[in-house]
Amino acid sequence: MKQNRGLTVWTTAIPLYLELLAVSSISLMDVFFMSLVSDKAVAALGVCTQVLMIFTLLIRTLTGGAGAVAAQHLGAGNSDKASTAFIYTLMMAAGCGAVFALLLFLLRDHIGEWLGLSGETLEITYRYLAIIGPAFLLLAIRSGYSAIISVKGKASVNLYCSLIANLVNIIFNCIFVLGWFGLPKLGVEGVAWATVIAYGVQLFLLSWISHRYLDIQLIFSRDIFRRLRELTRPIMGIAIPNSGDLLSHSIYQVAIVMVAIRIGDEAVASHTYLRQIIVVVMLWAYSIGQGQAIWTAHLLTRHLYRSVMIGG
């Protein structure tokens, strides 16, 4: 119980916001370096980002629901059930991430067409998704570890790892896009590969710190599948309601992008630039919600635990 005494809405939400802001800064840097390629490249990136955001929010709501359930068990001092919730979080993140990555890769030559792209912008979208699509699995598992670390009350770890990932992203963008060290300029592919490398580094750091320093152990017992099934209802009971508002907003943004596509590539590029500013505010609201959910789960289960002890 002592490890949770310093947990409040703000000690969870503020590091989570800074971490999400650092993660979104990767997208901001991608927009900047894409602008050095062409406005059509920025337009293509904006379209891809809106599609990726739908899958990203699905993963985050699922892992956030699993994290809230894990927080309840931690608050009650039940480390075994919390460990099972951690396993559920990572398995769900990996499974859904693999499915979404496969869909993005297989449909890479259709997504742009469905949204109304054509010509060079459509071709850029295809090239970008061919690299980013499969790498979505890295982002999904990263979200799982991020949720676990936040539940453990160490959200600052996510922040530091995100800052390192940002630095890696900038360095490799300079290498692949600007041609540092005499290497050829890769353009759109360079931006995509820099992002993939940054996500890979971030996932490695989060998983290494989680298992090495935060005592997160994934123990698979004989009845693990039965225990995982028992967690499905409470996790989905949290995740599904939370996903409705976020998904409706993302679909709304896709509709706006489709309208901008009809106007022209310049309109899509302008929307992409403006979107980076809007995300800053959106992430703050999301972080407060997640911090409140984790904090409430800790308080509720702590209260129930004390009531049982007093009653016993």
Q: Is the dihedral of CA 236, 158, 174, 276 positive or negative?
A: positive
Alpha-carbon separation of residue 292 from 85, 97, 159, 289, 301 (angstroms): 19, 26, 18, 5, 14
Size (the chain), residues: 312
With 0.75 as the threshold, say if the pTM is over it.
yes
By C-alpha distance, which of 205, 245, 188, 231 is closest to 60? Answer: 245
Neighbours of 278 (CB within 10 A): 11
Whole-angstrom distance, CA of residue 117 vs CA of residue 127: 14
Whole-angstrom distance, CA of residue 161 vs CA of residue 171: 15
Domain that residue 94 falls in: 2-311
pLDDT at 203: 92
Whole-angstrom distance, CA of residue 61 vs CA of residue 41: 30
Who's near 49: CB < 8 A, 6+ residues apart?
Answer: 27, 272, 275
Whole-angstrom distance, CA of residue 87 vs CA of residue 157: 20
Q: Is the dihedral of CA 276, 57, 106, 194 positive or negative?
A: positive
Domain count, the chain: 1
Share in percent of the chain as helix, strand, coil (round to 5):
90, 0, 10
Alpha-carbon separation of residue 24 from 170, 252, 277 (angstroms): 13, 20, 10
pLDDT at 219: 65
Helix/strand/coil for 312: coil
Q: What is the DSSP letter of 217?
A: -
pLDDT at 53: 81
Q: With contact defined as beta carbons under 8 Å apart, do 46 and 257 qualify?
A: yes
pLDDT at 243: 67
Mark the ranges of the chain whose per-residue pLDDT is less than 70: 1-9, 19, 23, 74-79, 155, 218-225, 227-228, 230-231, 238-239, 241-246, 297-312
